[in-house]
Amino acid sequence: MQNKEQQQKQDFRSNTFLHVLILLFMVLLILNFAAPMWQTTHISYSEFLAQVRSENVEEITVRGDRIEGSVKEEVQKEDISYTGFVTYTPAFGDDELMPLLQEKDIQVHTQPERSPFFWYLLLSTVPLLLIVLLLYSQYKKMQGGGGLFGFGKSQAKKFDQGRQSVTFQDVAGAREAKVELMEVVDYLKDPQKIHGMGGKVPRGVILLGPPGTGKTLLAKAVAGESGVPFLSITGSDFMEMFVGVGAKRVRNLFEEARQNAPSIIYIDEIDAIGRRRGSGMGGGHDEREQTLNQLLGELDGFEEHENIVVMTSTNRPDILDPALTRPGRFDRRIMVDLPTVRDREELLQVHSKNKKLDHDVDLQRLARETPGFSGADLENLMNEAALMAARDGRSQINSQDVETARDKILMGLKRHGLVMTQEEKNMVAYHEAGHAIVGAVLPHADPVYKVSIVPRSQAMGATQQFPDREQYIYAREYILDRLAVMMGGRCAEVQVFSTATSGAANDLQQASKMARRMVMEWGMSEAFEHMAFGDPGKEIFLGEDLGKAREYSEMTARKIDQEVEAILKKAFERAQEVLSSRRRAMDELAQALLENDEVSGETVYAIVEGKVSA
């Protein structure tokens, strides 16, 4: 660290010297050419002759065609006044000038013209000297990986043992991933223990999972637990506009790792260079493929005694090249999934260590109410709650701050300046009431937590439902109830106002997508039981799937559409049946929403059961 600071100071001094030298050179040029103009007044040759004839010129100095002189008495005119002057002889010459000067008894001094050799030498050597200094400065920077010629230098950041203090204790949740990674730690600490048993720890480890689940933090924790140097780089750092730079950086990175062995190489977002080769539309001899080929070669070039582990992470494993993930290279795939309820509670405890929480903040309950949140989302949640408490001038974070922060993350900011008519408010209230009533009545739907008609950036209202427990397998009954809940908003609009609004757009999109997956992927339709037709939501990757034939006929596609339509129609009819039988409860809930903007899930169930009325 100290050497790096000294190098930075040295570079700063050299750059400062170079800039000062350039500035002085410019100042000298300006002074040389502009100084005479500041000291004397330029007059016309005719004016000069007039002053000579009037015997007002005291003496002159002649240098080539330039005449400098002074007058005996200051000349005062409308536009100028001067005692010294400069003028130039005409290009055609003046044979009468010298006799006139002798006649008026004016002292004449002569000087040779300035030699152009000096200025030629100055203007040719000084720029050359500046270029040499600039190249030398860039060469010094190149030794540290920067500068004009440092393209092939590795851009990896090195974290030594003293600087890398993250351990597995700092990583909440991800228990299965920690168990897998402990083998890597044991190998780096005591390689002979595993080699003595005839075993071989995988040299390549891929961490897979959604964004924000802590993949990079886990890689740093492996380095912190094992106490070895940690070289971190992202996949995009290998790419440059010059062909071959990425491959050279790969070679440089692995060479640096060998010099610091045992060590860990961590490549974040490996999909930037590890995409499947030959899948694009523009050929296969591009910079990315050369970089990937070099990476594959380096992974194969490990010797048994080289204690180097290559770790990488991505959230797009489906697009990685098969040669990258085959056994012998990146052969260990560790899934870092979204945290469970227990993991979320641990993560909330970690992210609230340095925050003052009020006694009414229940982290266990908050963990249950944040399904689908990643570790980064939970960190952002607690930070937003702290900002809200500080904005209100309070010293502690209360439960209302946490709930407001969660709603902000899920649904966006409140739109305070939005002005809605009473008719629009009624439509939104009944729309959300339709969702809530259907969700509260159907037996397999997720419990209703809160209903809101507060306008936000992502929706005009929302019905929040959270599951009682973590679900990994979804039954057909649960999905059908969920579709009915989605249709509840549109059904309420039709029943109450005899019309349909654009507020149901997102509901219809999600319902259509889920119904199509029921038919094409999950085999949950009557016509196509126990059949799957591929992944309809798969994105075309760089033209890879453009040439693939569809696995079913046009007649089957038409029948699939009919099945999707039938499922959605049945879901609408179920929602219509629930709301028709609970019309009074829907009216009461809509009225409560118009009066209070938000209604809790407990109130919704009480209204449905007839225990309270608006």
Sign of CA dihedral 358, 413, 392, 355: positive
Predicted local distance difference test score (pLDDT) of residue 566: 94
pLDDT in tens, 298-327: 777 666 556 778 888 888 887 888 888 887
Q: How far apart are CA 489 and CA 84, in angstroms?
A: 94
CA pseudo-torsion sign 144, 245, 332, 342? positive
Q: Provide the token pair at 231.
A: 């070289």
**pLDDT tens digits for range 3-32:** 445 455 555 555 566 566 666 666 665 555
Q: Give the CA distances from residue 544 to residues 268, 537, 585, in Å, rounded to whole numbers and listed in that order.
A: 25, 15, 53
DSSP letter for 501, please: -
pTM (predicted TM-score): 0.66
Phi and psi at residue 124, to the nearest 5° = -95, -35
Whether pLDDT at 439 is above 90? yes
What is the arithmetic mean of pLDDT over 421-438? Answer: 92
Local confidence band at 207 (pLDDT 50, 70, 90 cut-offs): confident
β partners of residue 86: 42, 68
Average pLDDT over all residues of the chain: 78
Of 329, 567, 583, residue with least CA distance to 434: 583
pLDDT at 472 over 90: no
Query: Which domains are assigned to the chain?
Result: 2-116 (3.30.720.210), 157-335 (3.40.50.300), 341-411 (1.10.8.60), 422-608 (1.20.58.760)
Q: Which DSSP helix (H) or strand (E) runs through 560?
A: helix 554-581
First to last CA, the chain: 68
Dihedrals phi, psi of 275, to nearest 5 degrees = -65, 155
Q: For the segment 197-206, what is each residue's pLDDT rounded down to a tens digit?
A: 766 666 788 8
What pLDDT shows up at residue 3?
45
**CA 38 – CA 536 distance, rounded (Å):** 81
Name every residue whose Cβ is closer than 8 Å to that of residue 164 and which is 6 or more positions away in sequence. 220, 223, 224, 230
Tell me, rounded to whole angstroms, the distance of Cα 135 from its chain centroid. 34
At a CB cut-off of 8 Å and minimum separation 6, what does 267 contact? 233, 234, 235, 310, 311, 312, 313
- One of 269, 432, 563, 588 is an active-site residue; which one? 432
The percentage of residues in the chain with a pLDDT greater than 90, rounded to a whole number, is 18
Question: Catalytic site residue 269?
Answer: no
DSSP state of 525: S
CB 338 within 8 A of CB 347: no
429 with 453: CB under 8 angstroms? yes
Distance CA 543, CA 274 (A): 17
With CA atoms as reference, report the closest residue to 560 among 534, 585, 584.
Answer: 534
Three-state DSSP string of 97-137: HHHHHHHCCCEEEECCCCCHHHHHHHHHHHHHHHHHHHHHH
φ, ψ for residue 258 (rounded to 5)? Answer: -65, -35
Does pLDDT of 400 surpass 50? yes
C-alpha 442/C-alpha 462 separation (Å) is: 18
For the ranges 37-51, 238-252, 373-387, 508-522, the lowest mean pLDDT is seen at 238-252
DSSP state of 599: E
* Chain centroid to CA 350: 24
- Alpha helices (H) along 227-286: 245-259
Q: Give the number of other Cβ atoms within 10 Å of residue 548's Cβ.
A: 9
Q: Which two tokens stand for residue 274?
A: 């590890």
Percent of residues, the chain, with pLDDT higher than 70: 76
d(CA 247, CA 253): 10
- What are 279's two structure tokens? 């899948």
Pick from 418, 366, 355, 337: which is nearest to 597 by CA? 418
> How far, in Å, CA of 276 to CA of 286, rounded?
13
Give the pLDDT band of residue 293 (cuts 50, 70, 90). Answer: confident
* Residue showing tokens 């397999």: 444
Closest CA to 428 of 495, 490, 483: 490
User: What average pLDDT does range 106-120 have in this prediction?
Assistant: 70
**SS3 state at 289:** helix
Check residue 164 and give its pLDDT: 53
